[in-house]
Every structure is written in structure tokens, then in C-alpha cells.
Amino acid sequence: MLETIWFVLWGVLWAMYFVLDGFDLGMGTLMPFLARDEFEKRSIYNAGGPFWDGNEVWLIAAGGVTFAAFPLAYATMFSGLYTALMMLLFALIVRGVSYEFRNKVDSISWRSLWDACHTVGSFLPALLLGVAFANMFHGLPLDEQHVNQGGIVDLLNPYGLLGGVLFVVMFAMHGALWLAIRATGDLKTRAAATACKLWPAVLILVVAFLAYTYVHTQLFGNYMKNPHLFLILIAAVSGLVAARLYLGAGKLWKAWAGSAVFIAGVVMFGVVGLFPAILISSLNPAWSLTIHNSASSALTLKIMLGVTLVFIPLVIAYQIWAIKTFSGPIKSEADMEY
């Protein structure tokens, strides 16, 4: 029972991270295409600036839960995907530094350098996370000792790349919606129009991903055995449809909320499909890492559950406060810190 609770919590924390850091990553990816002058570039930085470090807490929490609750899965994941995860880490570091360093020197070339770092540091994590999770859904070449026999090139298979592209476009739409909420003037209009243009691409990609998933993975097995679980997929689709309808009606907050439900639904669809596995072995299903053979002791799970139930609500409360405090429109230089 404890293992199942932690597995669900593990999935929820990843979903929270993708929802909250997704709009940061999406805005950074879109910046070269949306921002036309210095004010608009700074508007994009300030649309995400008050939130990005808080959003990263969910990534740390998700990684921490993996380490505390399923240490064997953590060891296999972080050793077998070492190169990809180091690329992800450095990209996130460069993006974080860009917020602080961009305006330290009054030079066009200096700002251009950090703008490029910000864009790459936003695009690359979205792509890598999509590739990584798609490969987890598909299965990794784990041997009997749970050692990943593949390399980074093996992750760049059609299904993994499709997952990466889906995450990039999905986050870009999410970020465009957030920017439409916070920006003003022409930038707000272009951001909303970009979200409209990206919506059909997201729809096509998610349909293709689901079709590929049905044919080439075992994720739908749990859903066929327990049809009520399809409510997760229905919620995801409903969120995507709601995002477009509310966007068309000019209700941007509700459109962003619909996008958030969609992203969370996509993540939970994959996580629930994995259950009880965490890392599937494509070489032999018996060599997969599950919530049973990779979990910590019952005592550890109990203690950590108590700690988590105390601190996660505090993090949620902080996120709510930050969004409520810093989500107003950016109208002038006076509204900017970055």
C-alpha cells in the first residue's frame, strides 16, 4: 500500500513540475519568435522571472521522491540516463543564470548572448524531458542487474523523438497562454495568436503519440483492465479542448488552466500506464524495476510520507501566493525586475 501511495505521489510531483515549469520553458523557447524589441524581451523575462526558481522546487521534489522512495530506480535512472540528465541540468543552470546576468552589462552583444542561452536553456530541457519520459514509457534496455545497456543515441528513436517534440510544442502553447495573461499591447496579441496556431499542432502530436503508444508500448494494458482509468485521458482531452474554447472567448486564465489540466493529464496517463513498473526493461519484462523491487523499507516510506505531507502543502501555498502576487500585467519598466 505504501509503495502505491508513493508511486502516485511520484507521478503527481512530476505532473506539477511540468505544469508549472512548462510555461517558463515554453516562453523561453518562443522568445526569438515573439519578442521584437528590448521591452518585449524583458517582458518575457519578467513574465517568468518571479516563478522559475519556485517552479524548480517541484523538479527537486520529484527527484527527491525517486531517491527516497525508490532508490534502486533512482540509481538506474540517473546512471543509465547520465548524459541526457547532465545536459538537462546544465541547460537549466544556464537558463537560471540568464535571468540574473542579462542586465548586468549595458551591451547589446552581452544581452544577445544571454538571450540565446535563455532560449537554448528553455528548449533543450523540454525536448530532453519529453524524450526521457517517452523512453520510460516505451522501455529501456535494462539487463538482469538493472544496468541500462543503451546510450544517448538509443534514446533518439522515433517514439522518443515524438515525445520530445510533443513536450516542446505543448510547453510552447502553455507558455504562450501565460505570456498572453501577463503581457500587454502587441506582445499580448501575438502571444494569444501563437497559442491559437500551436493548438492544432498539439492536437495532432498528442493523437500521433497516443496511436504510437497503443501500438508499440504496453501502457494501455492497465486501462483495458480498468476502463474507469480512461477518465484520466478524458480529463486531458477535455483540458485541451477547454483551452482552445476559452482562448477563443478571450478568457485567458481559464485557457491556461485548461492547458495545465491537459499537461497533467498527459503525464498521469503515462505514469498510470506504467504501474506497477517505474522503469520497464525492453530486454526482458522480468528485469523491470517496479514499486515492489525498487522501494525503500516500510519505515523509510512512513517517515518520508509524514515529512512530505507537511512540506508539500507549504510549497503549494507558496506557489499560490507567488502567482497571486506577481501575475499582474506588465505595462511599463516600473513593473519589471529583470
Q: For residues 118 and 54, which has the higher predicted lDDT (pLDDT)?
A: 118
Residue 205 belongs to domain spanning: 2-335
Q: What is the pLDDT of residues 181-214, one digit of tens each?
A: 999 999 999 999 999 999 999 999 999 999 999 9
Question: Is residue 263 predicted with pLDDT exceeding 90?
Answer: yes
Question: Is residue 169 predicted with pLDDT exceeding 90?
Answer: yes
pLDDT recorded at residue 225: 92
Q: What is the pLDDT of residues 59-81, one digit of tens each?
A: 888 888 888 899 998 888 887 78
Q: How far apart (Å, rounded) are the C-alpha atoms in residues 43 and 207?
A: 33
Mean pLDDT (whole number) for 299-327: 88
pLDDT recorded at residue 24: 93
Q: What is the pLDDT of residues 218-244, one digit of tens each?
A: 889 999 999 999 999 999 999 999 999
Please report how the helices 38-48 and 158-182 are oriented relative to each other, as an axis angle in degrees rounded to 10.
100
pLDDT recorded at residue 229: 93
Q: How far apart (Å, rounded) are the C-alpha atoms in residues 30 and 7?
A: 33
| Rounded percentage of the chain residues whose pLDDT exceeds 90 | 59
Whether 35 and 187 have beta carbons less than 8 Å apart is answered as: yes
Average pLDDT, the chain: 91
Cell triple for 192: 494569444
> Counting Cβ atoms within 10 Å, is residue 225 exposed (0-12), middle (13-18) or buried (19+)?
exposed
Banded model confidence at residue 10, pLDDT cuts 50, 70, 90: very high
Strands (E), the chain: 277-279, 289-290
Instruction: Name residues whose C-beta falls within 8 Å of residue 111's C-beta, 6 or more positions apart in sequence.
Output: 38, 41, 102, 103, 105
pLDDT recorded at residue 294: 87
Mean pLDDT (whole number) for 273-290: 89
Q: How far is CA 14 from the centre of its chain?
A: 7
What is the chain's Cα-based Rg? 20
Number of domains, the chain: 1
Banded model confidence at residue 14, pLDDT cuts 50, 70, 90: very high
Question: Is residue 285 predicted with pLDDT exceeding 90?
Answer: no
The helix or strand, by DSSP H or E, that contains position 22, with its residue range, turns out to be helix 2-34
Question: Is residue 112 predicted with pLDDT exceeding 90?
Answer: yes
The helix or strand, by DSSP H or E, that contains position 159, with its residue range, turns out to be helix 158-182
Q: Is 186 helix (H, G, I), strand (E, B) or coil?
A: helix
Q: How far apart (Å, rounded) are the C-alpha atoms in residues 167 and 149?
A: 25
The closest alpha carbon to 259, from 58, 27, 28, 40, belongs to 27
Q: For residues 307 and 232, which has the higher predicted lDDT (pLDDT)?
A: 232
Banded model confidence at residue 153, pLDDT cuts 50, 70, 90: confident
Q: Is 105 helix (H, G, I), strand (E, B) or coil?
A: coil
Task: Please count the other Cβ atoms lying within 10 Å of the Cβ belonging to residue 262.
Answer: 25
pLDDT recorded at residue 93: 93
Handedness of CA 48, 174, 316, 302 (dihedral sign): negative
Whether 168 and 162 have beta carbons less than 8 Å apart is answered as: no
Mean pLDDT (whole number) for 246-256: 95
pLDDT recorded at residue 15: 95
Question: Is residue 31 predicted with pLDDT exceeding 90?
Answer: yes
Whether 196 and 247 have beta carbons less than 8 Å apart is answered as: yes
Instruction: Name residues whose C-beta falls within 8 Å of residue 215's C-beta, 6 or more positions apart in sequence.
Output: none
Q: How far apart (Å, rounded) are the C-alpha atoms in residues 85 and 224?
A: 33
Mean pLDDT (whole number) for 136-162: 87
pLDDT recorded at residue 56: 87
Cell triple for 270: 503515462
